[in-house]
């Protein structure tokens, strides 16, 4: 089998209203794809590779990958990742991630297996939390409580809210309100998106410990390993981080610096499925859990595949107005608060072009004849 063409597609649509976390405001959502075609008629779908830099990186790498066997993921990953030139960190590594995910989609389709079974098949239902609790215009405590109650009504046994964009006392009040709304049995996670200095994070953590917080995510800047460690030593709340970390080397450093109890590895960021599985093994060797950040569509397979997969992040329609219309198969929360990966060969992310086409913003391709 040989790769014959690699293309990128990108779609972008407005949100219901702008949403903000501790550091950033988002007015739109979207989808970026890498499609890898083969001479065997099998097409792999990779998630990511969008934006001008992402698309340019995929096009550059495609010229070296066309004619190669897509099954050889380890060799191709190292062919793409050349740290002096491309892929050490940042958007070029994210482009490598998208291609790698597409290669694994091909692998699983050729094997006739869902990706999670090809990778290990540890379970077919994974614990899940609903991500939300963003800052929005007109969203006060009552509206925040209502959103969280609705997420629990969907079947969620755990929910996450944003913190860090307002004064500490105000965020403490928000955390208190959510805990009162959801009751004592639902897990409550908070996410600062790197908004604090370490001493601010310590102050905040001490004030919310009484509300039984499941984890405190990205409290400080990604490279502030010492700040993570200082915070972890000063609070009973488990620290989670890693969504902005790259490759096994970055996670090695997080682990060696005792930054976190839970690693938010993101396959779309750190280097794809190939590198994610190495990070998961490294974490397992240190008795640490993996709770991936971002796209439930790829990560449901990865959490299901590994023994130290803790919980899946799940985004609902309050965050993305296209929820349920992007793919032909949409993940749903089971009645026990879990999510099951699609029982189809590959990842199960076949785009629903009928819904997506009005929002297309880019398409690029490299073929064997280019």
Task: State the catalytic residue, choosing from 35, 109, 160, 162.
Answer: 162
Q: Which two tokens stand for residue 368?
A: 């064997």
CA quadruple 216, 337, 349, 31: dihedral sign: negative
88: which DSSP letter? Answer: S
Sign of CA dihedral 74, 289, 116, 246: negative
Which alpha helices (H) appear in the chain, and where do they start and end? Answer: 51-65, 73-80, 90-111, 115-119, 141-153, 168-182, 198-208, 225-234, 247-256, 267-270, 272-285, 296-305, 353-356
Q: Which of 109, 293, 299, 301 is catalytic?
A: 293
Q: 325, exposed or middle or buried, with CB in 10 Å at 0-12, 13-18, 19+?
A: middle
* Distance linking the first and last C-alpha atoms of the chain: 19
Q: How far is CA 47 from CA 231, 250, 346, 351, in A?
A: 34, 21, 13, 11
Kindly write down the DSSP assignment for every residue of 154-184, as one continuous string: TT-SEEEEE-SSS-HHHHHHHHHHHHHHH-S
Q: Are 96 and 90 in contact (CB under 8 A)?
A: no
Q: What is the CA radius of gyration of the chain?
A: 20
Would you call 340 helix, strand, or coil by DSSP? coil
Q: Which residues contact 93 (CB under 8 A, 6 or more apart)?
A: 81, 87, 246, 247, 269, 270, 271
- Tokens for 317, please give them: 């329609």
Query: In this structure, what are the phi and psi dihedrals at residue 73, rounded to the nearest 5 degrees?
Result: -65, -40
Give the tokens for residue 44.
């792999």
Task: Determine whether 35 is an active site residue.
Answer: no
Of 169, 180, 235, 234, which Cα lies nearest the Cα of 211? Answer: 180
78 is catalytic: no
Q: Which residues are catalytic?
A: 162, 293
């Amino acid at each position: 089998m040989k790769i014959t063409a690699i293309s990128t597609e990108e779609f972008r649509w407005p949100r219901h209203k702008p949403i903000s976390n501790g550091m950033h405001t988002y007015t739109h959502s979207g989808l970026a794809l890498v499609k890898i075609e083969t001479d065997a008629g099998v097409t792999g779908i990779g998630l990511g590779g969008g934006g001008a830099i992402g698309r340019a990186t995929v096009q550059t790498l495609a010229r070296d990958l066309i004619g190669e066997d897509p099954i050889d993921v380890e060799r191709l990953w190292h062919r793409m990742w050349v740290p002096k030139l491309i892929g050490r960190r940042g958007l070029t590594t994210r482009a490598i991630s998208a291609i790698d995910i597409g290669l694994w989609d091909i692998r699983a389709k050729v094997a006739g297996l869902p990706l999670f079974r090809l990778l290990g098949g540890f379970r077919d239902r994974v614990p899940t939390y609903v991500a939300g609790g963003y800052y929005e215009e007109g969203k006060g405590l009552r509206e925040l409580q209502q959103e969280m109650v609705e997420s629990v009504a969907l079947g969620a046994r755990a929910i996450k809210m944003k913190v860090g964009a307002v004064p500490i006392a105000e965020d403490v009040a928000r955390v208190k309100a959510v805990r009162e709304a959801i009751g004592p049995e639902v897990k409550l996670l908070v996410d600062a998106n790197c908004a604090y200095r370490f001493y601010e994070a310590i102050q905040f953590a001490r004030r919310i410990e009484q509300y039984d917080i499941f984890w405190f995510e990205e409290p400080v800047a990604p490279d502030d390993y010492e700040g993570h460690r200082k915070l972890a030593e000063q609070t009973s709340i488990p620290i989670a981080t890693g969504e902005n970390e790259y490759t096994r080397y970055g996670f090695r450093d997080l682990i060696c610096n005792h930054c976190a109890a839970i690693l938010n590895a993101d396959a779309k960021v750190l280097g794809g499925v190939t590198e994610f599985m190495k990070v998961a093994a490294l974490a397992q060797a240190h008795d640490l859990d993996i709770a991936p950040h971002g796209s439930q569509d790829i990560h449901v397979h990865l959490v299901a595949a590994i023994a130290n997969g803790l919980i899946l992040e799940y985004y609902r329609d309050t965050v993305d107005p296209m929820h349920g219309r992007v793919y032909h198969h949409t993940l749903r929360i089971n009645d026990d608060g879990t999510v099951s990966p699609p029982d189809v060969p590959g990842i199960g992310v076949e785009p629903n072009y009928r819904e997506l086409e009005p929002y297309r913003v880019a398409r690029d391709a490299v073929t064997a004849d280019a």
